[in-house]
Every structure is written in C-alpha cells, then in structure tokens.
Amino acid sequence: MRPWRWVAAFAALAGSGCVSAWSLYEHSLYEALRVPGGESYAAHAELLGRIVDESRSAGRKPPPGIYAEYGLYLARTGRAQRAKECFEAEKEAYPESAVFVAVLERVVAGGRAFSGEGGREAPPEVP
C-alpha cells in the first residue's frame, strides 16, 4: 500500500472514532516531554488512564510499563496515593518490573518526579 493510502486509511479511522487511546500515546508523550509541566502532564496522565481502562474493559493487562508510567505522571500532578496504587498494579501485573518500580518509588518519595523545572536529575542508584 502506498504511503498516502495509509494516511487516508488512518484519517478515515480517526474520523469514525475507531482510534484507541494507545494510538495517541506517542504524540501525548512527546507533548509531555516537549512542554513539561502541569497541563501536559495532566493530559498525558489522562491518556494513560484511558489506556488502562481500555485494556481492562477488553479483559487484557495494559502493556508493560503503562501502570508505572501512569503512576509517575500521577505523582507529577500531585496524586501520590493513586500513584502508589499504580506502582503496586505494575508489580502485580509484571513481577519482573519490581526493580524498575522501586526506582520510580524512590524518585517520587524524594520529591524528584521530574517537575520540568531546570535540568533533569539522575535517577537514584539501584540497590
């Protein structure tokens, strides 16, 4: 299929409401990183929540790392308790992610959830 046909097919799907939240992930993450801060973080957290909801309603687990990323963005927007719940859900769904989630929990607990102000800090050392 020629490239313009892919664009036309995607536009038709987007216009018909058949676009999943997952298909919007890349653009949402780009915007959250391009313009860090409250509004872009909140929008990305909302999209991650939609991805989780769509996965659950289809009887599937969200893709690996989505719960953890959702938790990080919830922490960035001041919802620490919900962030902890997402970190626990990530560890339950994907036990192999426990070390990664432990690093995120330390980042969030230390108040270093990458606020977008100034330079990025190095992640803490893994025990």
List, in order, residues 6 or more apart from 2 with CB less than 8 Å away: none
pLDDT, tens digit (0-9, with 9 covering 90-100), for 90-121: 999 999 999 999 999 988 888 655 544 444 55
Residue 51 and residue 58 in contact, taking contact as beta carbons nearer than 8 Å: no
pLDDT score at 77: 87
Give CA–CA dist 11/25, Å, rounded: 17
| Tens-place pLDDT, residues 10-47 | 444 444 455 688 889 999 999 999 988 888 889 999 99
Element (H, E) at 27: helix 25-34
Tell me the pLDDT tens digit for each residue of 75-89. 988 898 999 999 999
Exposure pattern of 54-75 as b/e (b: 16+ CB <10 Å)? ebeeeeebbeeebbbbbbbbbb
